[in-house]
Amino acid sequence: MEVEHGIEFLDNLVYAKTGKRLNSLQKAILRGTWQNLKYPEIAKTQFRSAKYVKGVGFNLWKLFSELLVEDINQSNFRAILEKRELLNIDLSTFQDSPQIKVVNSINVCSKFLQFPNSAETKPQNQTDRKWNASATNKKDLSEMPNLSSFYGRTQELTTLKKLLLQEKCRLLTILGISGIGKTALAVKLIEQVADDFDYILWRSLRNKPSLDILERSLLEFISATANTDNRRSHLIDYLRKHRCLIILDNVQMIFQSGELAGNYETGYENYGSLFRQIGESDSSSCFVLISGDKPREIADLEAEYQGCKSLPLAGLDVDAAWEILREHGFDTEEKWQYMINQYGGNPLWLKMVARLIRDLGFTDLWQESTFLFADLEYKLNQQFNRLSAIEKKVISTIADLGARVTTAQILAYIPQSELLNALQSLLRRSLIEKYVEIGEVYFTIKPVIREYVKHQLSKL
């Protein structure tokens, strides 16, 4: 059974690190997890309490996360084993090897499992990248998604390239509402600037790795040494010596849900201090942060340092948005301009609505009104569930008042002390926009978001 091979490998690895073998309960947890069993089900087969098994499982994932330098848990264990081809490696290479020193365990990992920085270890889905970066630089793009098609964004790419290559920015933040195309833009950007960097690394924070795990994995890739007393200063040192491009995607995942934008979850505050340190340093490297919410320190750093910039991403222009619709089989351009506008040029929303229209085969309805459909509502639910109570109240008030409102109008319903923070936070999440006309400040809300909010209100 293929999982047995993986378990044997992990057992050897744990032995190398701790001098102890995996016990029968730990192996049963691995086998059960492989079969998608939950702790209570595994517990039954082992005649133990679910609570006890859960505790053992928790410690096991923690240990594997350290050894494999990747956040491992019950839900991603099988995928990681498969991704890293743990099941096919030749165990005889370090079979039963008490000689392997504890300090070598991470290197043992990297030798067999770590990042695909060479052609041989490159995963299948990386082989079809359309670009050919310099053969001299080292890339770890295993977590970078593949781009299917890409339209427009010429101006944004020019701006980002200028910031990276001419202004040598150290901290670049790409912001925007979910689905607007932040990740896609960064993938395209790498394609165009790769030759300028010694190392390029892409990391997603979707599974919320601790900073410790992230720093280890970065250091291990850049310097081949992760076990050091002062990891942070080693990392900063390497970032100074080498020109590295490090992309951190999904940064919003480490922020606390239910609070104002950009507040770190407990245990993740040290990310803020890393961003600050990078922003303040004289590093020749650059961190590109991709986030739905603007991290708190970014605004301060931008104000103080030339090398820190952010790019809030708006929707695609009509031509690019139209290409997406055409890809889905639509023909007459004129008819769909209204819809592109209603969905704010958001490529994800446009793709979703185009699929729906194509599947159902009707077209006329969409010219009359914005249409909130289940897939889109689900996506927006994820975002709105993260808002604080006061943000929900403010955005509901704006949606109720109209397409554009002044602060004075909102103040009739919400006290100033609460309103200002909430408005700033909603702006930081790109859920509302601000513009000034003849000296008056207006807040606006995208038609589809307005419809969503009103729909939620009608359910109350």
Ligand X SMILES: Nc1ncnc2c1ncn2[C@@H]1O[C@H](COP(=O)(O)OP(=O)(O)OP(=O)(O)O)[C@@H](O)[C@H]1O
User: What are the residues binding Mg ion (CB under 5 A)?
Assistant: 183
Measured distance CA(63)–CA(42) in Å, rounded: 20
180 binds ligand X (CB under 6 A): yes
Three-class SS of residue 433?
strand
Residues between 331 and 390 with contacts to ligand X, criterion CB under 6 A: 347-348, 351
Structure token pair of residue 99: 């000689």
Q: Which stretch binds ligand X (CB under 6 A): 48-56, 172-180, 262-270, 278-286?
A: 172-180
Pick from 31, 150, 194, 433: which binds ligand X (CB under 6 A)? 150
Q: Which is nearer to Mg ion, 13 or 175 (CB)?
A: 175
Task: Single out the segment in contact with ligand X by CB under 6 A; choices: 171-179, 208-216, 227-235, 333-341.
Answer: 171-179
Q: Is 157 helix (H, G, I), strand (E, B) or coil?
A: helix
Q: What is the DSSP string of 283-352?
A: -S-EEEEEESS--HHHHHHHHH-TTEEEEE--PPPHHHHHHHHHHTT---HHHHHHHHHHTTT-HHHHHH
Q: Pick from 101, 115, 30: which is nearest to 70 by CA? A: 115
**Chain centre distance of CA 19:** 36
Distance CA 272, CA 277 (A): 9
Q: Please identify, using beta-carbon distances, which residue of 80 and 247 lies nearer to Mg ion.
A: 247
Task: Please name the residues in contact with 305: beta carbons below 8 A apart, sequence gap of 6 or more.
Answer: 170, 171, 279, 280
140: three-class secondary structure by DSSP: strand
Q: Is 292 in the site for ligand X (CB under 6 A)?
A: yes
Q: Which does 348 bind (CB under 5 to 8 A by kind): Mg ion, ligand X, none?
A: ligand X
159 is written with which tokens? 């701006």
Single residue of 24, 118, 148, 230 touching ligand X by CB under 6 A: 148
Shortest distance, CB of residue 54 to Mg ion, whole angstroms?
A: 32
Q: How far is the CB of 427 from Mg ion (least distance, A)?
A: 20
Of the candidate residues 6, 152, 262, 344, the single one contacting ligand X (CB under 6 A): 152
Q: Choose the one of Mg ion, ligand X, none that binds residue 347, judging by a C-beta under 5 to 8 angstroms depending on kind.
A: ligand X
Q: Nearest approach, Cβ of 346 to Mg ion (angstroms)?
A: 12
The answer to whether 151 contacts ligand X (rule: CB under 6 A) is yes
The residues binding ligand X (CB under 6 A) are 148-153, 176, 178-184, 292, 316, 320, 324, 347-348, 351
